[in-house]
Chain A
């Protein structure tokens, strides 16, 4: 059974599946119920943060958790007023790190993935394995050596110090390789070559468009990974105007023992920072397809 699966040609995009519906069948309340239960579980903390962001600091600790209040706007104003709107600067920084970093990362990963999937060359297997091994090293410890090395070239405490290390992503290359293998048929490349097309042109004009759906997934993946990476910007940046949102919010939470944590600001900030991501995910919904296994097949 498994063998037959593995022999299947390539991962197909979701939309390919025939949409013939057997309308005669009844909905199963059990199946729907279980799925909805999962949805409720996943939404609960999000609803909580939504409600909590409407409370002022006294209500946060006194009223019932899911009883909304009316202070959302004043909380946002308070947060915006903090050190001359620094919060919005953090949001913009995060968009820059995750957005630009994600795009650069996709470009680099797509090239590498395509190169690994479509060419035979000396050291291919070793290259791939070395890149994959990069997954195994925890980022917590890499941050300090990365800092020490970047300090050598005077790059710490700049946008580059967070952007550049974020661009390289073993996972991204792994996924891009899968998508290249699965979505760009060898004979199309061969045909283009026979027609005399330059390699670079084949990549940019033929292969890349075919890989786009997969690359969007890689982008989302990288976007979230950079967004989630706390330690790297934490160590690299001293200037709080360069902070991404996670490091900034953590500072509001850890002001030392002599100051109360700014819970309302952090909660409002958490809510505001999640919103753009939710929007991004909703608009790019149809690209959520992560086929990890196709690569194992083709490897």
Chain B
């Protein structure tokens, strides 16, 4: 047991404390939340508000636009939004990332579930080695992970192509336009499967063992116990990992960005966030970038809450007030 048992004999306070308690108790939650809310306001809420403000603005240039004062900021209304939503590159990036999510999220969670069940199963060996190894990629920043995989993808420097060469097979060009989405999804999978495995494994660990000992005594096989008892129990965890993975998917950025210089097949607007980056950092148009970000955030919001609504009725039927 890792949690420390509560000290039963708390130092007695003076009797008057009983009166104070009521007052401090009433303010206490605000005190606890004050640092978080202050920082939240300063470093998230204000910048978000500022980004929304920027999304409604634009720069206007007069004439040649050279020299001091040639560029001014003006009110743009919803122009930036209209332009983003009618930009075929943006729409293509949304479709692409949708496909990417369909590829990545089920694979990642499926594997994470399998690994977690295997770690929890009694007849599996090499558990702690595998657990550490599979979780390890979580410690590697996405930028570095993509750099490593980039080396492994390029035919001339990759060991895989070397092996294919030895056998005499034609290896598939993983960075070609048909396969590049798998190349990017693989990096996401590599970095994410361990974390999700740990989440599910934690949930599995919390299951009172009587629950499935009973099933075992009834003659259920390990597989049946896993499928009929364990999986339904960890469903809430699966749903939340799904939700967080979905949000992360919509914001995929570092992987395609790092791989981009290696291939012709990743455009500067491959994912929606790459378009944001391009607008803000390459085109120096933070106004369009802000508008696109707001659209992405709203879409993520609608999707995640829609998804929660959908599953809440099923999985969390007892939940909430």
Contact = CB atoms under 8 A, between A and B. Distances in A.
Interface string B11-46: 111110110110011001111110111011011111
A42 B132 CA distance: 10
Interface range on chain A (Cβ under 8 Å from partner): 35 or more
B114 interface: yes
Interface in A141-172: 141-142, 144-146, 148-149, 164-165, 167-168, 170
A124 B39 contact: no
Contact of A136 (B36, B162, B247, B315): B247
Contact of A38 (B12, B134, B277, B319): B134
Contacts of B240: 292-293, 296
Given A39-B134, A195-B12, A227-B141, A168 B3 contact: no
A21 B127 CA distance: 14
B237 interface: yes
B174 interface: no
Given A28-B124, A34-B114, A148-B50, A183 B3 contact: yes
A39 B44 contact: no
Contacts of B137: 42, 45-46
Q: Is the interface of B mostly helix, strand, loop or mixed?
A: helix
Contacts of A69: none
B301 A142 contact: no
Interface stretch (B67-75, B87-95, B96-104, B194-202): B194-202
Contacts of A5: 207, 232-233, 235-236
Contacts of A58: none
Contacts, number: 349
A125 B290 CA distance: 28
Contacts of B198: 288-290
Given A167-B39, A192-B10, A282 B132 contact: yes
Contacts of A134: 40, 44
A112 B159 contact: no
Contacts of A44: 152
A8 interface: yes
A249 interface: yes
Given A111-B35, A141-B293, A168 B208 contact: no
B76 interface: no
B244 interface: yes
A136 B135 CA distance: 25
Interface range on chain B (Cβ under 8 Å from partner): 35 or more
B30 A246 contact: no
Lowest 8 CB-CB distances: which A-B pairs, in order? A115-B32, A196-B13, A293-B236, A112-B36, A39-B133, A119-B29, A141-B293, A145-B47
Interface of A: 1-3, 5-8, 11-18, 21-22, 25-28, 31-32, 34-36, 38-46, 48-49, 52, 60-61, 64-66, 107-109, 111-112, 114-116, 119, 121, 124, 127, 130-131, 133-138, 140-142, 144-146, 148-149, 164-165, 167-168, 170, 173, 183, 185, 188, 191-193, 195-199, 201, 203, 205-206, 209-210, 212-213, 224, 227-228, 230, 246, 249-250, 253, 266, 270, 273-274, 277-278, 280-282, 285-286, 288-294, 296-297, 299
Given A141-B276, A210-B4, 5 more contacts: A35-B119, A64-B159, A191-B10, A210-B6, A290-B198
